Every structure is written in C-alpha cells, then in structure tokens.
Chain A
Amino acid sequence: MKLIFEISEQGKRCATLRTPEVNHTKVGKKFARTTKLELPEVSEVDFSRHYTALSRRAFGVDNGFYPLGSCTMKYNPKINEEVAALAGFTRIHPLQPENTVQGALEVMNTLSGYLAEITGMDAVTLQPNAGAHGEYTGLLLIAAYHASRKDFKRTKVIVPDSAHGTNPASAVMAGFEIINVPSDEQKGVDLEELKKVVGDDTAALMLTNPTTLGLFEKNIKQISKIIHDAGGLLYYDGANLNAVMGVVRPGDMGFDVVHLNLHKTFSTPHGGGGPGSGPVGCKSALAQFLPDPRVEKTDKGYKFVCSKKSIGKVASFYGNFGVYVRALTYIITLGAEGIKSAAQHAVLNANYLKANIEDLYPTEKGRHCMHEFVVSMQELKDKTGVSAMDIAKTMIDRGYHPPTMYFPLIIHEALMFEPTETETKQTLDEVITALREIYDEAFKDPEYMKAAPHHAQIGRPDEVKAARQPIVRYKK
C-alpha cells in the first residue's frame, strides 16, 4: 500500500482551525524557519482511508490468538478506554493546583496501594514509563540503598542466563557490572554456581519468577537466603506476575524490589509497542529512595511529597498517568477474587495447550508450567530442516500470531507460548489442531513451510538488506 506521502497532493487539507482574531505576530527573521515543512497534504477522506487501511494491516488481541510469550497479550477491556478518555482525566494539566486534581491523586494513591498489596511490598512508585524503565529505577534504588550504608564495593548485579535482555542492559545503565549465572538441569538458577559468584561485591540478583521458561523457581527460598546472607538484595522482574498474582507474592518470596508491567499484567493495551507503565515496589528500607514525587493521603486530602534521599525523577511529571487510570479500572473490576482467578486461568490455559501438543512440541518434562511454556523444535529441525521460525511463519498463514521465537536463549529453536487467561477454549482447541497439522506438514512438505508465509501481507522480508542499506524515512 502507498505511504501517506505518496497520496499527498499540494493544496489538499484536512483539519481546519478558527482564524485568530488578534493581530498576526511573525517570528523574527533571525529565528524563522527557512526550509519547507514537508508534511503530507491530504483530504479528510484520504486520511480516514489511509489509517483504516493501516489498521487492517495490523494484528491485535481483538483480531485473534496472540500467544506472544513473556508479553501477556490478554484482552484489553473496553471500559478501560472509555474511562481513560473522560474529560476529568484527559483535560487536566499536570501542574494544576493539588486541590483541583484530588481525583487524579486518589487514582495514583489507590493504585499504588493495590499494587503494594498484590506484590507484598511496602511502597510503590508509578513513575517509570515501561518495564525496562522500571528495572532501571529499581536498580537505582538498590544502588542508593547500598550507598546510604557506605557499602560502596557492591558493584555487581547477578543475572541468570535465561533473563530478559533488558535485565543486564538496565543494570549497565544503572552503573553496575554484570555477572551471568547459568541455569541448572531443572532450568532454575544453579545454586552451586550462584554460591560461587556471590560475595561482598554483590549488589543484587535479578530474577523473574516464574522464570522465562514459565517454570516456578522452586529454590526461591534458598536463593533468597544466599543473596541476603551475602548482603545483596533480590530484584523481581515482574514480567511474569500474571501467573501468580493473588497466589503468591514477590514480597513473601524474599524479594526486596519489584517492577510490574501494567501493560502486561493489568490489561492496559500495548498500542503497537507502548505506552506501557512499569511501577516499582520496594520494602520499607528502600522507600525513602523512591523517585519524587509520591502521593500521600493526609487529613486534608491527597498531596505530593518529596524525599531528601530520593534518587530524583526518572520521567517528566508523574509518568504515564492515563495507563494508571486503565489499570485501576481493571483492578476495581476484578477485585481480590478476580485477580487470583485470572492467574489461575492463565496457568490453566497454558497447561491445557501444553498437554495437548507436548508430544510433538517438546518442553520441560514432568512438571506443570505456569502461565507460559517454552518448546524446543531442535529435534524437528534435525529431522526435517523446519525451524522454529518456519513454524511461526506457518502459523501466520493460519491467522494466528506466532509465539515468541528464539527466547530464552538457553533453549535451542525455542517457541514460547503464553495464551493468557482470556483466551477461549474453542480457540485453544483450534490452535491445538492447527499446531498438530503444522507438525505433520513439516515432514510432508518442509520446503513449503520454509517459504511461509504464503498468504500474508508480505513474504519474509530481507532483514539483512534493511540493516546494511538502511532506508529509515521517506524521501521524494
């Protein structure tokens, strides 16, 4: 389809504004733009058709099955969008007097309280704009905590080899060195290896639980003891909280700092890559370091407070407020029992899918998975030449979004399925049938699968060409 620049015609226009009723003031010559502003010129019909066409070439949760592991593509409730669009939430300026935004402060205070309860933490900041931003913020809290105790030698952050790439990247941004620790045979943290690397230079261990393999880290109590005995802190990557919310809390597992993804666990939409929101919770010993400002409830209403020991600000104003409104709407709707049942059904759906394909799509044996599971297609690839990528692309031909591919890095030819709790059994049954047929196809016609997709918007794109000769903008 054409780019909006390619349907542009000089002189066409769309939205019009009132003519100002005051004298026209021009920007002085010294400051005035001299180059032409090359933006598209389109009519309202052009505009509407163009963006409708783009939307028809997008695939969201409302379009179909979206088992993108680690991303928790659950249904995004429509009420959340309607509430977030209320004038009382959108038409308020971030620097309005506090007494005129008591509702907004109450949203922030209430949501922080609910998230503290769900995670078992003592205090929460909502400010970080995304999960990785939350990791970064949490690690700054940890740095501030050690520094406040004059414990300056804690320069290292331990990260399992199965961790999300953001973990080590965030730790480096926060000024730490990375120690990678391997997984054991059960795909959990190898305790012996962990003992070897902890010491008086350990600032923290970053852990996802359930792990990125969708398995609960059974040794969590021992891990917590090893880290805490060495004087380090335990960081919880909340990407997988959807599996366990209402069932077990990071705070009770021994974690000191946690980040959440409101756009995964709490149903706020992903919007094609954001905005997300990555609140950070911590135990009371770290609360004084949280970003400024925080909302406090007083006798005279809600107010912003700052802490002298705060790490400062990590984003402008108070973060992605509109996302908080949606997440709070979701938590109020679900309540205590709904939160737990969401986790239970997320785990039920994942296990149902796993149980019905694992004879063909091998995964960790003899254990139930949590909200997601990772299969290895190495054996199939050895036999047929069909890779995890080929299976993913064949799923596209059948109208399903593929699972996450080639992650975690410790599994060869990995596919990571996360159906989420909102998926229907009918869809899961269809997918099971489709995946079983696809497996058979790999033996019957591997070449066809290697060239898939055949019925998508495009065939496989040439990524090497894109990176070697980058075209990253439209030019006439």
Chain B
Amino acid sequence: MSDYLSTTEKETSEMLKSIGVNSIDELFDDIPRDLKLKKLNLPQGKSQQETMEIMTALSKKNKVYDVILRGAGSYDHYIPSMVKNLASRSEFITAYTPYQAEMSQGILQAIFEYQSMICNLTGMDVSNASVYNGANAAAEAMLMSTDRTRKVFITFDNIRPDTLKVLNTYAHRRGITVCVLPSKEGVCDLKALKEHLDDTSAAVYIEQPNYFGLLEDAEKIGELAHEAKAKFVMGCNPIALAIVKSPAECGADIAVGDAQPLGLPMAFGGPYVGFMACTEKEMRKMPGRIVGETTDHDGNRAYVLTLQAREQHIRREKAFSNICSNQAYCALIASMYMAAMGPSGMEEVANACVSYAHYFADALASLGFALKYNGEFFHEFVTVSTIPAEKILKALDKEGILGGLKLSDNEILWCTTETLTKADIDRAVEVIRRVK
C-alpha cells in the first residue's frame, strides 16, 4: 500500500506533541462518537506494482480497434507527438485555476492563446476559457439567450442526441421550452422554422455539420432567426471550421461545440472540452472564466482572470452560471493542437476527412448502400441498405474494424478521418462486400 504521505512516525509524534494532543484521534473530537465509522468496506491497499497490474488488466478488457469508422460526437484524429509530450509537463497538470496571476502567467497566457485561437477559428469576438463539453456549451448558450419574455429555444431533430438530452435537462427547471422542429431531407426545414419563429423565440440552435454529417444552410437560418429578433447559436465541429464557413460568416451570435477533435483522445467519451464564443455584444452575459490582458504596476504586459462580476464566487445566486472548474487542461491541449497543425495543417486534416468520406461513400454506393440524404456532407454520412446494419457491423468487428453507428435496422452513420488510409477503407469495403 502507498498513501502518498510524507511524514515518518517520528515526525508524526513530534507534530502531535507540538499541537498538544496525544493522538490523531483527539483531533477528531468534534465529531459525535456515535457517527464515527468503524471501518470502510473497501479492499486493502495495493503496491504500485499490483495496482498497475490490476488497471492494465482492466484496460485490456476493452477492445482497441485498428480502424475506426464511427464518429457521432467522438472523433479519432491523429494527435501530434509534441502535443502529447509538451502537455505532459507536470507544471500544467498539477496547477490549479490561476487565481494568483503573479505566479500563473503561463497558465493565463495559455488560456488567452486558446481564447484567441477559438476566436480565429469561429470568427467570433470573444471566447471563454472553456466549459465541460459540447452539449453543455449548447445548454449554457441556451441559458444565455433566454430571458423573461423569450423562453422558447428552437432546434431541430438532426442535432446530436446527447446535446438534445442535455438541453432538455437544463431547460426543464427554468421554464424554458426546447422546441424540436423536424428536419427535411436530413437538414433543417426552413419552412417549419419560419412558421415557428415568433416573439417568444429566444434563439435558434443548429449543428454544423449536423448529426447526419450534412452541411446546413446556416446563413439562411441565421437570417430567419434575426428577422424574428431571436439569437442564432451554432454548434460546430472545430475541424470542419478550417474549411467550412465560420459561425461569424453565417451571422451567429454564439458559437459553441466540442473541441475533442483538436488533439483529445476518444477516451470513452471524456474528458472533452466545450468551446464557447460570442459577439462582443453578448460578452458580459457569457458564463465561465475569461482571461484578459492588462498591465502590472510597472507597465509590463500581464494576464488575469477578468470580467469576474459574472461569476458565482462574486455574484452567488445572481451569477449567470454556476461553473467554476472547467476543462482548462483539455483547452490547453486543443490550443497546442491548433498551434502544431497551423492553418495549413488544419485545412489538410479537414480536407482529408471530406475526401475519405466521399471516397468511402462512393464505394459503398457501388455495393448498394445508398446515401440516405442528398445534401452535401462533411466527414459523416448515412447509408441505407437491405442488408441489416447489425450483420455489417459484426462482420467488420471480426476484422478489427469499428463500423459506423447503427441508426436503425438498415441505416448506418459512418465517419472517416485522416487516421485512415485508402487501404483501410478498401479493406472495410471488401468485408462489407462479402456480407450477405
């Protein structure tokens, strides 16, 4: 057993003597005796070596696939070595939220750089230091955009299911209605949107690309939202933004999304990082930490946590959000990823994603797996076939390939990224061809 304590028995008794007690138990005298626990029912502590064996054995009970053709909110991208290596410096890992600016300039500057990169990627004016994940970012945007008279948050049935579930949870106790409009041919139905927008509409939320991988006519949707004086909120895949119109170009008031594709492993769903950016007009309503630039008393450039009057530790029940800890370390990794890739690298990743997706979709089409929707897609797409999805996925699984996500008995949502090669896709196609 190791308990990571640093004091010897001799030191412990010196300390007790210095305090003026005979035993550690005496320090717990304030606790009513009848409440005290006899013994925790947990296993005995283990040596480091044994713990490593136990945890390694657990990790081996999970199947690691050679080829991954599944996305749906979690994406397998190549993570550059220097991102993994530099991020592992323990100064980054073991620091707290940078409350003491004078000894935390490194963390503060890293967050400032992250905010700047998110602003550049989305085209928005202001980014916060991160929220929990993409779904929570959407929920925070919902709370940010609703007010006393506008309490209907409009979205469509083609956003990620988890986002919708989290929106519903957050809306329920706040008197907010999440209005889910139907999609048409996989994309947002503008006619339905037009009919539903009125003076109770707080905002319209769409995802770009949407859950089915399709690109939305975001500009048009933004225009409709603004005509009704509602806000326009876009949930975006950050890799797509390298080559797809930014939220700012589409007129968004708030841009959110999950930055997991930027250097974070799939890791069974987390930790990921929600990004959140908005126009300057919305800045003082945005939740979460924000780092700002200022000067110290000698005029040197300095970074601090700023606009804190929005936050829970100052405003308590009047705060815009309860968020305290965010996903700072994941945001650091996302910014390292963007710096390592640079603009050209980001575009290359995005282009590889799209190119492989179209190559794969064409190959599947030749096998009789028709695209369910006609719209333009990014790196995910839905196929329909007469062969049961289950059969296809099982056949791929046997070959170490994680197939797409089954959406219904004969529909599959596929995803491709730059981690694949042509040979991987050809092999998957060959396996599917043999399924009958």
Return the chain B residue nearest A163 by Cβ: B316
- A311 within 8 Å of B (CB atoms): yes
User: Are A272's CB and B95's CB within 8 A?
Assistant: yes
Q: How far is the CA of A356 from the CA of B14 in the complex (A)?
A: 13
User: Are B339's CB and A79's CB within 8 A?
Assistant: no
User: Are B7's CB and A345's CB within 8 A?
Assistant: yes
Return the chain B residue nearest A210 by Cβ: B30
- A238 within 8 Å of B (CB atoms): no
**Known contacts A335-B42, A339-B40, A462-B295: does B169 contact A93 (CB below 8 Å)?**
no
A-B contact pairs, 29 of them (CB 8 A): A3-B113, A13-B345, A21-B421, A33-B244, A41-B343, A57-B106, A58-B104, A59-B104, A97-B397, A100-B62, A106-B58, A133-B323, A168-B316, A170-B322, A247-B36, A248-B36, A272-B111, A273-B98, A273-B326, A314-B136, A316-B166, A336-B40, A342-B3, A345-B12, A352-B15, A370-B27, A422-B4, A458-B302, A461-B303
**Known contacts A74-B4, A79-B51, A332-B46: does B40 contact A218 (CB below 8 Å)?**
no
Which of A124-132, A192-200, A375-383, A437-445 lines the interface with chain B? A124-132
Contacts of A17 in B (CB 8 A): 78, 345, 348-349, 352, 418
User: Are A271's CB and B42's CB within 8 A?
Assistant: no
**Known contacts A17-B78, A336-B41, A348-B15: does B64 contact A463 (CB below 8 Å)?**
no
- A149 within 8 Å of B (CB atoms): no
Contacting residues of chain B (266-323) with chain A, CB-CB under 8 angstroms? 266-273, 283, 289-298, 300, 302-304, 306-309, 311-319, 321-323
Contacts of A402 in B (CB 8 A): 100
User: Are B342's CB and A165's CB within 8 A?
Assistant: no
Contacts of B302 in A (CB 8 A): 458, 461-462
Q: CB within 8 A of A86: which of B55, B319, B425?
A: B55
User: Are B270's CB and A129's CB within 8 A?
Assistant: yes
- B149 within 8 Å of A (CB atoms): no
User: Are A470's CB and B98's CB within 8 A?
Assistant: no
User: Are A91's CB and B5's CB within 8 A?
Assistant: no
With A86-B56, A168-B312 known, 10 other A-B pairs at CB within 8 A are: A14-B82, A18-B421, A22-B356, A103-B58, A103-B59, A253-B35, A317-B268, A335-B42, A336-B45, A421-B4
- A244 within 8 Å of B (CB atoms): yes
Q: CB within 8 A of B106: which of A3, A18, A53, A319?
A: A53
Q: How far is the CA of A1 from the CA of B109 in the complex (A)?
A: 9
Q: CB within 8 A of B342: which of A12, A30, A173, A320?
A: A12
- A38 within 8 Å of B (CB atoms): yes
Which of A225-233, A280-288, A323-331 lines the interface with chain B? A323-331
Q: Tally chain B residues at the interface, Cβ within 8 Å.
A: 209
Q: How far is the CA of A467 from the CA of B305 in the complex (A)?
A: 9
Q: How far is the CA of A293 from the CA of B62 in the complex (A)?
A: 19
Q: Tally chain A residues at the interface, Cβ within 8 Å.
A: 201
Q: How far is the CA of A315 from the CA of B378 in the complex (A)?
A: 25
User: Are B116's CB and A461's CB within 8 A?
Assistant: no
Q: CB within 8 A of B327: which of A31, A37, A55, A274?
A: A274
User: Are B91's CB and A39's CB within 8 A?
Assistant: no
Contacting residues of chain A (305-359) with chain B, CB-CB under 8 angstroms? 311-323, 325, 328-329, 331-342, 344-345, 347-349, 351-352, 355-356
Q: Mark B338-375, 1 if CB is under 8 A from A, else 0.
A: 11111111111101101111110000000000000000
Return the chain B residue nearest A63 by Cβ: B91
**Known contacts A27-B354, A100-B62, A352-B18: does B51 contact A329 (CB below 8 Å)?**
yes
Instruction: Report which residue of B62, B119, B291, B345 has the largest number of chain A beta carbons within 10 angstroms of its beta carbon.
Output: B62
- B233 within 8 Å of A (CB atoms): no
Q: How far is the CA of A77 from the CA of B349 in the complex (A)?
A: 35
User: Are A27's CB and B244's CB within 8 A?
Assistant: yes
Q: Mark B1-22, 1 if CB is under 8 A from A, else 0.
A: 1111111000110111011110
- Interface on chain A toward B: helix, strand, loop, or mixed SS? loop
Q: CB within 8 A of A460: which of B64, B296, B306, B343?
A: B296
Contacts of B168 in A (CB 8 A): 312
Q: How far is the CA of A315 from the CA of B352 in the complex (A)?
A: 30
**Known contacts A38-B343, A317-B73: does B5 contact A117 (CB below 8 Å)?**
no
Q: Mark A251-265, 1 if CB is under 8 A from B, else 0.
A: 011000000010100
Q: How far is the CA of A135 from the CA of B81 in the complex (A)?
A: 37
Q: How far is the CA of A401 from the CA of B30 in the complex (A)?
A: 30
User: Are B91's CB and A334's CB within 8 A?
Assistant: no
Instruction: Report which residue of B45, B175, B289, B336 has the largest number of chain A beta carbons within 10 angstroms of its beta carbon.
Output: B45
User: Are B82's CB and A44's CB within 8 A?
Assistant: yes
Contacts of B6 in A (CB 8 A): 422-425
User: Are A367's CB and B30's CB within 8 A?
Assistant: yes
Contacts of B215 in A (CB 8 A): 27-28, 31
Contacting residues of chain A (436-464) with chain B, CB-CB under 8 angstroms? 451, 453, 456-463
Return the chain A residue nearest B324 by Cβ: A132
Contacts of B7 in A (CB 8 A): 345, 348-349, 424-425
Q: CB within 8 A of A25: which of B30, B120, B355?
A: B355
